[in-house]
Structure 1
Amino acid sequence: MSLKFLSLFACISLAFALPQAPVSEGNGYNISILSPTSDIPGTTPPTTGSPTSAATTASSTGATNSPTPTFVAGKTTVEDLWAQTEKYSPVLVAAKSNLTHSTKFDLPPNPPTYLPSYLSENTKGLKFPKGFRYGVASAATQVEGAAKEDGKGPSVWDYGTHVYPDLYLGAPDVTDDFYHRYVNDFARLKAMGVNTFSLSLSWTRIYPLGSGQVNEAGLAFYDKVIDEAIKNDIQPIVTLFHWDTPLALSAQYGSFMSMNITDDFNQYAETAFRRYGDRVKVWITFNEPRVFCSQTAGNPYNLNFPSGINATTAPYHCTHNLLVAHGKAVKTYRHLVKEGTIKAGQIAFKGDDNKPTPWSNQPEDIEASNRHADFFIGIFAKPVYIDGDYPTTCKETLGSFLPELTPEEQKLIKGSADFYAQDLYRINTAKAAPNGIKACVGNVTDPNWPACQDGRVEYSSGAPGGWGYGQQADPRSNWLVNSWFAIREQLKYLSKTYPTKGGLYISEFGWAEAFENQRTEQYQIVSDYGRETYYRDYLNEFLLSIHQDGVDLRGVFAWSLYDNFEWGLGLTQKFGLQYVNFTDPALPRHFKRSFYAMRDIMQHHLQPEDFNK
């Protein structure tokens, strides 16, 4: 995901902290569901991990006083955790009575009068390089459903959406029911011509309690998914973690607020590598760690923070621990390859965001852009791709709140990626904080601290003169603009700043069609002209960046294969290339115009052997 999840809740703006998109795969960002706190840098850390303020009404069914998940190692079972999760509302299941599987699919006729606008003169005759990966992306929590089936344990999203339903616009209990319908879904994807499918594994489907006993049924499910993808000539790219923290680890020790997470994640990663490493050639350890740590790592309500950690410092403890977890997992992967246990492939993490266009040529606005790039990209990318340590800007601004990377940790992290992957939905603008950057840096109560750029949306998605920076997406995703005109500079920046032998991937990009959720007729819903335009514009710029700028771009993945659970916005925010009728128990899928447009653009510009026929 993504950037997809507008803040509908009263929450603080944390850490890396500009108001952001809804937490969607990255796509979307729901501003973290973290409780307000008076604990700020420079004050004495709290002695308890409890939230500083409790929810007055946690659910419409009567939950009050911030129910907190509990876990006792060796005693608490998966059933106990589900009982806590379902105390106020049960987990729903998908209808299966009329479900049939089909491995073949015939596309409906093309939409009328659309093709000529997609074959742009400025890219006429240009081809993506041989072996270019063209695909779509998804995430387990957002598409799978089957939240409680076949031994799966609860994640923090299962718990939060059921115990605090007033904070979310729905739960991921069923969503697209990919768990039961993946055979049909792959047949539809093959009709789109994709050669790659980016998916994530559900940690709690494999380890229901986050560690300890493995769930064979969960492992077997992903065997079937991976095999079905390959059967359709679609190569899987597998992400290990897409924000679905095991509830057990959150309750036991605060998950990513504790270094304990590094060993538990490594155990889970090794299990996945050993099981699927004979078929999976490309791995992602973490999806959008910056979004996760700054906006969702404390879900829900920071209920399980360890002693000494609060909502202000939590994102930086998460940053440190996640980087170490990434480094350990990559070390394990490379060891398994070296000893011949699994086939050689590639591994990295997926970053997000962008280096914004300065609001003006004034030095402070240029500095604001540079600071944004450090806090939103460099805080994870620089340790991995450059020298093992954080950007100087981050260290100087955050001080002791950013745990130091030891020499051993720096050695572990440096070089722990084989390629660079970026979720790139849009380019921001950046304007210096109203009181100036220097004053902001020295004042941790400034709402724009620590990046110290003006956090108001009109100064991050707007342009001088009161204009938008580009075509605007749905108002629920006011962070998202069609900023095609800035894409090439962005790709040049990423390639130059974080060069790798494995090249660059745009691991997610996508569009929330304006007011799509308010449309009532199918023909209205599938007529997504704004999304068509977005994909045409971006794909043209990707081609030009390769041929005119020399960018080593190896693949692009659209978000998403269909409408799905967009985190805090539930099923109400649409990013799909396919429309899913969630009011019909059969969950029928319908291609949108953007699906046809992307198929035809890629067929025109891919090498013939790379288009899946």
Structure 2
Amino acid sequence: MSMRFLSLFACISLAFALPQTQVSGGNSYNISILSPTSDIPGTTPPTTGSPTSAAATTSATSTGATDSPTPTFVAGKTTVEDLWAQIEKYSPVLVAAKSNLTDSTKFDLPPNPPTFLPSYLSENTKGLKFPKGFRYGVASAATQVEGAAKEDGKGPSVWDYGPHVYPDLYLGAPDVTDDFYHRYVNDFARLKAMGVNTFSLSLSWTRIYPLGSGQVNEAGLKFYDKVIDEAIKNDIQPIVTLFHWDTPLALSAQYGSFMSMNITDDFNNYAETAFRRYGDRVKVWITFNEPRVFCSQTAGNPYNLNFPSGINATNAPYHCSHNLLVAHGKAVKTYRSLVKEGTIKAGQIAFKGDDNKPTPWSNSPEDIEASNRHADFFIGIFAKPVYIDGDYPTTCKETLGSFLPELTPEEQKLIKGSADFYAQDLYRINTAKAAPNGIKACAGNVTDPNWPACQDGRVEYSSGAPGGWGYGQQADPRSNWLVNSWFAIREQLKYLSKTYPTKGGLYISEFGWAEAFENQRTEQYQIVSDYGRETYYRDYLNEFLLSIHQDGVDLRGVFAWSLYDNYEWALGLTQKFGLQYVNFTDPALPRHFKRSFYAMRDIMQHHLQPEDFNK
């Protein structure tokens, strides 16, 4: 998905994350309380070993090495094969048991589940329609769905490295996952049955540039040619994200990836290659997915143990943020130049933010300030430079001081205005309570566990409500950050559209639900009966409609996470967010529609303009 979580390898506070202490293996870590696509290794320690899909077979022999691993890379000498060998020294990279391209568009669509349509249609949105041209779709990410980790010349990313070399921190590796690489034709046919008109996907940087830079991999480019063409063939418009956390391992080992300004040129080169190749067909681009979540992970990043000079675990997230913003600005400048010169067709480009402005725990000035600070550190630290004035929020600069690299006048000019629309991954709304010892004392103490946002980081004060209640229906315990907070959605959309207005409107680029205990269900009829997810989507879609018609919010599209169960980062295949169930114990990886799939289909058919529902 789109937001998830890294265990930090030291007792440190994350820049943009609410710290929560969890003990694992005798060590105490501060971890981010984020959201679904950001599962932090170590948040749910393995209890029975890492599950392996029955759809996978071994492609290499592991030596079972136990030495302290540090990836090594020497420019001009280290090859893709060398990097894979460093990984497979610890455990083999698996391949799909059935890896031939599945080009069949045939599938079974069971009849509607019992007590179906009437329960989806709410009286308060009866007769309301989404505006003409509204984008209705689902979202995915390369690492989470593609599989084919080594196939056709792909190089390793940090997400290939970590799960193999640090298996105790991950519930499996993304070697095979849904095998979208071989099954995308059938997957698009199934998506068309849902009526979606848009599909949000990400490119794998190392499938196109196996070493992050240098020689381009034509096989990787051709794969995405086929994916994009297949989507369009099914009347589904692709939205392409350039980076969804899969940093090339070579760049991480060579210079620390986003810890170094070198990343800005390598990313820009990769982005230009993608723009030139797919710009004739792709109308909407995303540079980075959830940069706050990604950069908060770098503080304890085990994939590059040697930070560049002057960078340590405390200031690493802010150097990452600075370099990522510059990389974003350069890529957008390149995109607009290519459009201006007529090389590619005109479209839109932005980045995807995440999180929310929380509801204050009480009406006290301190709790209100905690909510505002959360919004600055979790949203504004990226959104304000891009959408407002090129610089960070004052709160962030005052609290972080020298930890936050200054944006030069040239960088501010590059970054300001570098987005055509606003995209937010919005799974839930938090609550915010001031840090126990007060915001002023916390803000001046870098060792305070609630620094720098200075709101109480305990989960009961971020996903709970006064009186010991949860702030909405709770999702699966593995995603204790996630609540169905439909009642706070409209205020959130008003805040986002007012604070960061754009001519291109607002998109909810991800929203989704982890059904409680779905991974423990054993019968197919139990698994596909996802009433909680069905309710979540119904509730949120109703609020989106009311936001448009009663609040005047310029909402242009919404994207459900995700098209099917997939690799949920450190939680592997155990955490389910899919609209379709994938049987990972079957080598054929069969997909099965869940109730929520039907719910989304019928709600959207009822409320979309007829021409916007894909029939």
User: Taking structure 1 as reference, are residues 203 and 115 closer, same or farther at Cα in structure 2, changes over 3 Å only?
Assistant: same
In 1, the alpha carbon distance for the partners of 2:379 and 2:26 equals 13
In 2, the alpha carbon distance for the partners of 1:155 and 1:371 equals 34
User: Aligned-pair distance for 1:304?
Assistant: 3.7
User: Aligned-pair distance for 1:215?
Assistant: 0.1
User: Taking structure 1 as reference, are residues 466 and 46 closer, same or farther at Cα in structure 2, changes over 3 Å only?
Assistant: closer
In 2, the alpha carbon distance for the partners of 1:58 and 1:358 equals 53
Give the match for residue 401 of structure 1. 403
Kept in 2: contact 1:140–1:202 (CA 8 A): yes
Deviations 1:508-537 (A, max 9, x none): 000000000000110000000000000000
Deviations 1:248-295 (A, max 9, x none): 000000000000000000000000000000000000000000000002
Give the match for residue 87 of structure 2. 85
User: Aligned-pair distance for 1:10?
Assistant: 8.0
Kept in 1: contact 2:4–2:293 (CA 8 A): no
Give the match for residue 451 of structure 1. 453
Secondary structure at the residue paired with 1:179?
helix
In 2, the alpha carbon distance for the partners of 1:356 and 1:559 equals 21
19-28 or 425-434, which deviates more: 19-28
User: Aligned-pair distance for 1:14?
Assistant: 1.3
Secondary structure at the residue paired with 1:495?
helix
In 2, the alpha carbon distance for the partners of 1:539 and 1:38 equals 24
In 2, the alpha carbon distance for the partners of 1:509 and 1:143 equals 17
427-436 or 288-297, which deviates more: 288-297
Give the match for residue 188 of structure 2. 186
User: Aligned-pair distance for 1:68?
Assistant: 0.3
Secondary structure at the residue paired with 1:520?
coil
Deviations 1:483-521 (A, max 9, x none): 000000000000000000000000000000000000011
User: Taking structure 1 as reference, are residues 435 and 11 closer, same or farther at Cα in structure 2, changes over 3 Å only?
Assistant: closer
User: Taking structure 1 as reference, are residues 612 and 19 closer, same or farther at Cα in structure 2, changes over 3 Å only?
Assistant: farther
User: Aligned-pair distance for 1:344?
Assistant: 0.1
Counterpart selection for 2:565 from 542, 545, 563: 563
Deviations 1:356-376 (A, max 9, x none): 000000000000000000000
User: Aligned-pair distance for 1:103?
Assistant: 2.5
In 2, the alpha carbon distance for the partners of 1:593 and 1:48 equals 30
Deviations 1:219-250 (A, max 9, x none): 00000000000000000000000000000000
User: Taking structure 1 as reference, are residues 373 and 24 closer, same or farther at Cα in structure 2, changes over 3 Å only?
Assistant: farther
User: Aligned-pair distance for 1:3?
Assistant: 3.2
Kept in 2: contact 1:423–1:509 (CA 8 A): yes
Question: TM-score, normalised to structure 2's length?
Answer: 0.93
Kept in 1: contact 2:291–2:324 (CA 8 A): yes
Deviations 1:301-340 (A, max 9, x none): 6514212211110000000000000000000000000000
Deviations 1:144-177 (A, max 9, x none): 0000000000000101111111110000000000
In 2, the alpha carbon distance for the partners of 1:494 and 1:303 equals 37
Kept in 2: contact 1:378–1:391 (CA 8 A): yes
User: Aligned-pair distance for 1:564?
Assistant: 0.3
Deviations 1:430-466 (A, max 9, x none): 0000000000011111000000000000000000000
Secondary structure at the residue paired with 1:2?
coil
In 2, the alpha carbon distance for the partners of 1:473 and 1:91 equals 32
In 2, the alpha carbon distance for the partners of 1:566 and 1:31 equals 17
Unaligned runs of 5+ residues in structure 1 are: none
Secondary structure at the residue paired with 2:424?
strand
Unaligned runs of 5+ residues in structure 2 are: none
User: Taking structure 1 as reference, are residues 240 and 332 closer, same or farther at Cα in structure 2, changes over 3 Å only?
Assistant: same
User: Taking structure 1 as reference, are residues 497 and 547 closer, same or farther at Cα in structure 2, changes over 3 Å only?
Assistant: same
User: Taking structure 1 as reference, are residues 47 and 233 closer, same or farther at Cα in structure 2, changes over 3 Å only?
Assistant: closer
Give the match for residue 554 of structure 2. 552
586-595 or 31-40, which deviates more: 31-40
User: Aligned-pair distance for 1:83?
Assistant: 0.4
User: Taking structure 1 as reference, are residues 305 and 605 closer, same or farther at Cα in structure 2, changes over 3 Å only?
Assistant: same
User: Aligned-pair distance for 1:95?
Assistant: 1.6
In 2, the alpha carbon distance for the partners of 1:155 and 1:320 equals 22
Secondary structure at the residue paired with 2:507?
strand
Secondary structure at the residue paired with 2:58?
coil
Kept in 2: contact 1:372–1:453 (CA 8 A): yes
Kept in 1: contact 2:131–2:608 (CA 8 A): yes
User: Taking structure 1 as reference, are residues 444 and 12 closer, same or farther at Cα in structure 2, changes over 3 Å only?
Assistant: closer
60-69 or 403-412, which deviates more: 60-69
371-380 or 13-22, which deviates more: 13-22
Give the match for residue 6 of structure 1. 6
User: Taking structure 1 as reference, are residues 501 and 162 closer, same or farther at Cα in structure 2, changes over 3 Å only?
Assistant: same
Kept in 2: contact 1:425–1:508 (CA 8 A): yes
User: Taking structure 1 as reference, are residues 469 and 551 closer, same or farther at Cα in structure 2, changes over 3 Å only?
Assistant: same
Secondary structure at the residue paired with 1:80?
helix
Kept in 2: contact 1:39–1:46 (CA 8 A): no
Q: 1:53-452 to 2 correspondence within 5 Å? A: 63-64=65-66, 66-96=68-98, 100-296=102-298, 299-300=301-302, 302-452=304-454
User: Taking structure 1 as reference, are residues 447 and 101 closer, same or farther at Cα in structure 2, changes over 3 Å only?
Assistant: same
In 2, the alpha carbon distance for the partners of 1:364 and 1:57 equals 56
Secondary structure at the residue paired with 1:351?
strand
Kept in 1: contact 2:34–2:481 (CA 8 A): no
In 2, the alpha carbon distance for the partners of 1:91 and 1:42 equals 21
In 1, the alpha carbon distance for the partners of 2:556 and 2:501 equals 13
User: Aligned-pair distance for 1:13?
Assistant: 3.9
Kept in 2: contact 1:186–1:228 (CA 8 A): yes
User: Aligned-pair distance for 1:101?
Assistant: 2.2
User: Taking structure 1 as reference, are residues 447 and 41 closer, same or farther at Cα in structure 2, changes over 3 Å only?
Assistant: farther
User: Taking structure 1 as reference, are residues 553 and 40 closer, same or farther at Cα in structure 2, changes over 3 Å only?
Assistant: closer
User: Taking structure 1 as reference, are residues 118 and 280 closer, same or farther at Cα in structure 2, changes over 3 Å only?
Assistant: same
In 1, the alpha carbon distance for the partners of 2:560 and 2:405 equals 35
User: Aligned-pair distance for 1:116?
Assistant: 1.0
Kept in 1: contact 2:373–2:454 (CA 8 A): yes
In 1, the alpha carbon distance for the partners of 2:112 and 2:167 equals 41
239-248 or 86-95, which deviates more: 86-95
In 2, the alpha carbon distance for the partners of 1:226 and 1:36 equals 26
In 1, the alpha carbon distance for the partners of 2:140 and 2:588 equals 20
User: Taking structure 1 as reference, are residues 56 and 483 closer, same or farther at Cα in structure 2, changes over 3 Å only?
Assistant: same
Secondary structure at the residue paired with 1:30?
strand
In 2, the alpha carbon distance for the partners of 1:363 and 1:510 equals 32
**Runs of 4+ in structure 1 over 6 Å off:** 8-11, 20-30, 32-61
User: Aligned-pair distance for 1:540?
Assistant: 0.1
Identity value in percent: 96
Kept in 1: contact 2:5–2:43 (CA 8 A): no
User: Taking structure 1 as reference, are residues 58 and 10 closer, same or farther at Cα in structure 2, changes over 3 Å only?
Assistant: farther
Question: TM-score, normalised to structure 1's length?
Answer: 0.93
Kept in 1: contact 2:22–2:31 (CA 8 A): yes
* Root mean square deviation, CA, Å: 6.3
In 1, the alpha carbon distance for the partners of 2:374 and 2:273 equals 36
Kept in 2: contact 1:266–1:328 (CA 8 A): yes
User: Aligned-pair distance for 1:44?
Assistant: 34
In 1, the alpha carbon distance for the partners of 2:572 and 2:44 equals 37
User: Taking structure 1 as reference, are residues 577 and 47 closer, same or farther at Cα in structure 2, changes over 3 Å only?
Assistant: closer
Kept in 2: contact 1:5–1:566 (CA 8 A): no
In 1, the alpha carbon distance for the partners of 2:28 and 2:239 equals 21
User: Aligned-pair distance for 1:114?
Assistant: 2.3
Secondary structure at the residue paired with 1:22?
strand
User: Taking structure 1 as reference, are residues 94 and 33 closer, same or farther at Cα in structure 2, changes over 3 Å only?
Assistant: farther
Give the match for residue 18 of structure 2. 18
